[in-house]
Copies of this chain bind each other. A is one copy, B any other.
């Protein structure tokens, strides 16, 4: 191979690998901006972050394509949280700090995956109208992204809330099945998902590991969750409560 050909090969490789670092930067921005938008109930702006065939996994349900994404953010959240307004309302806190993002871009740069987390502060100020509540919440994301015409978009936002705790009582006292999982599909439930997650997740005090999209960083082996004891306290509790 000539000198020129050899240098060209090295330059091509550099261009590709630098582009992947730039992709990581753009995907981090995309997910972080999702966080900033959702903090402030900028739901139209959230919907615009998704690809046309994007989807959201939320509390046991899967909302599919732009129509499903809109149903969740605009018809459900915007109605419930901000009285139909696309923007923040007085006295409603919903902070979703976005943290600990592990991002992997496919070799052909068409797709990417991300594991991340949030630790929320949420609730209503006592001078604002509505049901009084204040809570902490921790959860994991395992998301997918797609690059279309050079622009990264959310392909699947999969949020796995893990624990909730009221501001007063915390995670030690969270009621079992504190927030109900989706049961009824759209359109029977006009705000329901298009599909149910399978298997159905279970909230804290269940402690299931959300599967990792990537292998162990040192051994390179798949990370195999052992969830055999993640739900074993429910039995007793549930039998006691019947």
Query: Which A residues fall within an 8 A CB radius of B?
Result: 3-4, 7-8, 10-11, 14-15, 17-18, 21-22, 24-26, 28-30, 32-33, 35-36, 40, 42, 45, 48-49, 82-83, 85-93, 95, 97-102, 115, 117, 119, 121, 123-129, 132-134, 136, 138, 151-153, 162-163, 165, 167-168, 170-174, 176, 204-209, 212, 214, 216-219, 223, 225-234, 236-237
Cα A217 to Cα B11 with chains together (Å): 28
Closest 4 CB pairs of A and B: A87-B226, A88-B207, A90-B233, A125-B205
Which residue of B has the minimal Cβ distance to A85? B229
Question: With A10-B15, A99-B100 in contact, is A174–B125 under 8 Å at CB?
Answer: yes
**Are B26 and A25 in contact, with the CB atoms below 8 A?**
no
Question: With A172-B126, A207-B90 in contact, is A136–B121 under 8 Å at CB?
Answer: yes
Residue from the set A10, A85, A172 with the largest chain B CB neighbour count within 10 Å: A172
**Are B209 and A163 in contact, with the CB atoms below 8 A?**
no
Q: For residue A86, which residues in chain B have a CB less than 8 angstroms away from its CB?
A: 226
Q: For residue A205, which residues in chain B have a CB less than 8 angstroms away from its CB?
A: 90-91, 125, 127-128
**Are B35 and A100 in contact, with the CB atoms below 8 A?**
yes
Q: For residue A128, which residues in chain B have a CB less than 8 angstroms away from its CB?
A: 205, 233
**Are A152 and B100 in contact, with the CB atoms below 8 A?**
no
Question: With A88-B209, A207-B92 in contact, is A172–B124 under 8 Å at CB?
Answer: yes
Would you give 5 A-B contacts (Cβ < 8 Å), ordered by A? A10-B11, A26-B217, A91-B233, A121-B136, A125-B205
Question: With A11-B7, A121-B163, A172-B123 in contact, is A25–B29 under 8 Å at CB?
Answer: no
Q: For residue A35, which residues in chain B have a CB less than 8 angstroms away from its CB?
A: 100
**Are B85 and A121 in contact, with the CB atoms below 8 A?**
no
Q: For residue A88, which residues in chain B have a CB less than 8 angstroms away from its CB?
A: 207-209, 227, 229-230
**Are A227 and B21 in contact, with the CB atoms below 8 A?**
no
**Are A29 and B217 in contact, with the CB atoms below 8 A?**
yes
